[in-house]
Amino acid sequence: MSNHFGDRLVDAVKSKRTPLIVGLDPVYSRLPSAITSRQDMNDEFDVDSAVDAIFDFSTQVLRIVAPMVPAVKINIAFFEKYLSQGIETYYSLISEANELGLEVIGDVKRGDIGHTAEAYAAAHLENPELTGLEDTLAPDAITINGFAGAESIEPFAEKATKNGKGVFVWVRASNPGAAAIQDCVCEGGQKVYEKIAAITGDIANKPENIGKAGYSNIGMVVGGTSPDETSELRKKYEKVWFLVPGYGSQGASAADCIRFCKKDGSGALINASRSIIYAYEEQKYKDQFGDNWKKCIEQAVIDAKLDIAKAVQDAF
Amino acid sequence: MSNHFGDRLVDAVKSKRTPLIVGLDPVYSRLPSAITSRQDMNDEFDVDSAVDAIFDFSTQVLRIVAPMVPAVKINIAFFEKYLSQGIETYYSLISEANELGLEVIGDVKRGDIGHTAEAYAAAHLENPELTGLEDTLAPDAITINGFAGAESIEPFAEKATKNGKGVFVWVRASNPGAAAIQDCVCEGGQKVYEKIAAITGDIANKPENIGKAGYSNIGMVVGGTSPDETSELRKKYEKVWFLVPGYGSQGASAADCIRFCKKDGSGALINASRSIIYAYEEQKYKDQFGDNWKKCIEQAVIDAKLDIAKAVQDAF
C-alpha cells in the first residue's frame, strides 16, 4: 500500500467505485434495540455499558460498509463524552477500520498555534511509539481548524507528510451561520474561506506533499451545502482532495456534492453520517427490512452510492 | 461558592490580588531531573512512566501556584499525546486544581457545528453523571473555536450556563500569522476577529448569562501580542472576561496585556505558561535557587505578579 495518503485515496475510490464515505457519529440513545437490550449494554448511564454498546454497534457498521466504501470518518466528539474510555474506544475503532482495509479519517477539528499545534499533531498524526501503546494506530488523516493561519496548519502538514498521513483543513463549514464569518468579503475581493483555501493550497501544493497520482496529502473540508460559493475551489486547487460533509441529513444533494469530484470520480470524498448509520430509523427501510438494522444500513449505502453515481453521470 | 463562572472569577481575582493565571503545557523532556530521574518516571518512551512524571510535576506546580493565582489553564493538547491515559491525567489534574480552590480552564479549543458541537459541549462542560465516572469533574470553563459562527458557539454557551460553567471563544490568536485571516477587513469595515467578537458579544450579553457582579460567563480569548488591534474590545464588551495568552514566552508585555483589565483589576485573566512552569531553566532563577525547581517557579509567579501589578498601577 502506498505511503502517500493522496495516492491511497485514489486507489480506494477506484476500487470501491464511489466517492461516498461513511461517518460514525454514534449516540447511545439512537442505537438499535438489538444492541441496547443486551444485558451488558443496556445502561446508557453506566460508562462501561455505554461504550461497549457504541463499540459493538460501530464495529458492526464498519464491517457492513467496508466492502462498499473507500473510507470512514470517525467523529471524536461522540467519544470524548466517555473521557478516557471513549478515547480508548475511538482508537480501537481506528484499528478495526484499518484491518478492514478502510482509510480512516479522524474528525477531530483540532486547531491551535505553535507548540500546541505540534502537540496535537504528535497526538493525532503519529502512530504512538510508546511502550504500552505499540498496538495503537493513529488515523490515516484528520480534520483540522486553520483559523489561526498558516502557523495553525503547517505543524499538522509536516507531521502528516513525515508519517504518510493526511490533513483536511476546514475551509467552509456546512451550516448556514458559517456564512457570517466565512463568506465575508475582504479587501481585495477574497472571501474569508477563500483566504483559508489559499493558505491551505500553498501548503498542499508543495512538491514534498504531492503523491504519484498528482494529489496532495493536504486537503480541504468544504460543506456540500454551499455549492455556489465553492464550486470554483475544485478548479483552483487541482491537486487537493476535498472532504465534503453535508450530504444526506444536512440537506446537500448528490449534485451539490459531486461538484468537487473530477471527471474520473477522484478528488472528493462525500461524507454521509446519520443518514447511513441510523437508516433503520427510516420508514422506507423499516418497511423493507423490518428490524434487521444491518440490512437497512447496507441498503442505505447502496442507495447513496447509486444516487451519487447518477449525479456523476449527469454532470460529466 | 457562586454558581456563576463570571462571579467566581471576580472573587478569585480579588482574593489573589492578580489577574495572572498559570498555564500547564507539560512536556516530558523539559521536566526537572529531580522528577525524571526517579526510577518509576525515568522512561520518556513508556506511557506509564511518562504520564506519571507529568502528573507528579503538574500536581506539584498546582500546589505551588494555588495560593498565589486565581486560576490555571490546562492545555489538553499535551495530554492527548498519551491517548486515554493522557485524558485520565488531564481530568485528575482538574480535580486536584479544584480541590486546591483554583478555577480551572480547560484549553481545548474545540469547535464544530450542530450535533457535534453539542457532543463536545456535553463532553467538556458537564460533570459526568455516568456510573463509573462519578468522581470526575469537568473544568470550570473551556476555550472554544467559533470560526463557524453562532452555531458553533451557542451549544457550548447553553451547556455552560446550565451547568455554572464558562466558555472563552477564541477571537484573536497571539501568533503573527493569525493576522492573515483574523485581521482581514470585511465589507462594512469590520475585521474578521471583530465579527467573531460581535457574535460572541451578542451571546455573552444575554441576560441569562450575566452574573451578580455584572460579568458574563461567556468570554473571549484575545492574544496580548496585538494590543493595538484589540484594545477597543475592552470598551466595547463591558461584561466580558478576556483570557489573554501571550504574556511571557510569546513576547507580550504586562502593559500590553493589562489593557484588557478594568480599573479595579477585574475583567481579564493574563496567562503565562512556559515562563512560569519552566522557570528553573532560566539562568536568573538558577543563580538564585540552584536546582530547587519549585522555588524557581514560585519566584517566577511572584515576579510576574509584581510586573503586572506595576503595569496596572502605571495604566490607571
Three-state secondary structure of B69-103: CCEEEEECHHHHCCHHHHHHHHHHHHHHHHHCCCE
Q: Is residue A74 within 8 Å of residue A104, measured between CB atoms?
A: yes
pLDDT of residue B246: 85
Eight-state DSSP code of residue A206: S
Chain B, residues 34-53, CB within 8 A of chain A, namely 43, 45-48, 50
pLDDT score for B180: 87
> Crossing angle, helix A227-236 and helix A192-204, to 10 degrees?
20
Question: What's the pLDDT score for residue A227?
Answer: 67
Contact B33, B84 (CB under 8 A): no
Contact list, A170 vs chain B (CB under 8 Å): 147-148
A64 touches chain B (CB under 8 A): no
Give contacts of A55 with chain B, Cβ < 8 Å: none
Q: In the beta sheet, which residues pair with residue A117?
A: none
pLDDT for the residue A231: 74
Contact B185 A186 (CB under 8 A): yes
Is B152 part of the contact surface with chain A (CB cutoff 8 Å)? yes
Enzyme catalytic residues of A: 109
Residue B124 forms contact with A (CB below 8 Å): yes
Which residue among A110, A113, A136 places its CB closest to the CB of B175?
A113
CA distance B88 to chain A (A): 6
Q: Would you call B83 and A48 a contact, using CB atoms and an 8 Å cutoff? A: no
pLDDT at A179 over 90: no
Is A150 an interface residue toward B (CB < 8 Å)? yes
Residue B123 DSSP label: H
**pLDDT tens sequence across A283-299:** 999 999 999 999 999 99
**CB neighbours of A268 closer than 8 A, spacing ≥ 6?**
A19, A234, A241, A242, A243, A244, A257, A258, A260, A261
Q: What is the mean pLDDT of residues A27-33?
A: 97
Whether A246 and B148 have beta carbons less than 8 Å apart is answered as: no
Helix (H, G, I), strand (E, B) or coil at A227: helix
The whole-angstrom separation of Cα B129 and Cα A150 is 40
| Radius of gyration, CA atoms only, chain B | 19
**Residues B15-74 pLDDT 10s:** 999 999 999 999 999 999 999 999 999 999 999 999 999 999 999 999 999 999 999 999
How big is chain B, counted in residues? Answer: 316
Whether chain B has a CB inside 8 Å of the CB on A155: the answer is no
Q: Which residue of B40, B44, B46, B80 is the best one to mutate when testing the A interface, meaning the one whose CB has the most A CBs within 10 A?
A: B80
pLDDT attached to residue A229: 64
Contact (CB<8Å) B184/A187: yes
Among A24, A83, A90, A199, most B C-beta atoms within 10 A, so best to mutate, is A83
Q: Do A75 and B119 touch (CB under 8 A)?
A: yes
Q: Which of residues 184-243 of B touch A (CB under 8 A)?
A: 184-187, 192, 195-196, 199
Q: Which of A80, A134, A191, A194 to mutate to test the interface with B (most CBs of B within 10 A)?
A: A80
Q: Does A95 touch chain B (CB under 8 A)?
A: no
| Best CA proximity match to B155, nearest among B189, B129, B121 | B121
Number of H helices, E strands in chain A: 14, 8
Residue B251 contacts A, CB cutoff 8 Å = no
B238's grid cell:
463591558
Which grid coordinates are listed for B119?
457532543
Could you tell me which residues come within 8 angstroms of residue A108 by beta carbon, excluding any fewer than 6 positions away? A76, A124, A142, A143, A144
Cβ–Cβ < 8 Å for B36, B53: yes
Query: Phi/psi at B32 (nearest 5 deg)?
Result: -60, 145
User: Which residue from B264, B247, B263 is spatially nearest to B305, judged by alpha carbons?
Assistant: B247
**Nearest CB to A87; choose among B83, B170, B175:** B83
What's residue B162's pLDDT? 98
ipTM of the complex: 0.96
Say yes or no for a CB contact (<8 Å) between B81 and A119: yes
Over chain B (316 residues), what is each successive 10-residue block's mean pLDDT?
Answer: 95 97 98 97 96 98 98 98 96 98 98 95 94 93 96 97 98 86 88 95 98 98 78 92 88 89 93 96 97 98 97 90
Give which of A301, A261, A2, A243 is closest to A108, Cα–Cα: A243
For residues A149 and A199, the answer to whether their CB atoms sit within 8 Å is: yes
Q: Is the per-residue pLDDT at A92 higher than 80?
A: yes
Cross-chain Cβ contact B136/A83 below 8 Å:
yes
| From B14, B16, B81, B109, the catalytic residue | B109
Check CB contact under 8 Å for B180 and A195.
yes
User: What pLDDT, on a 0 to 100 scale, did the predictor assign at position B49?
Assistant: 97
Name which of A78, A170, A175, A193 to mutate to probe chain B: the one with the most chain B Cβ atoms within 10 A of its Cβ.
Answer: A175
**A187-223 per-position pLDDT tens digit:** 888 999 999 999 999 999 999 999 999 999 999 999 8
Give the pLDDT of residue B229. 64
- Cβ neighbours of B193 (radius 10 Å): 27
pLDDT at A23: 98
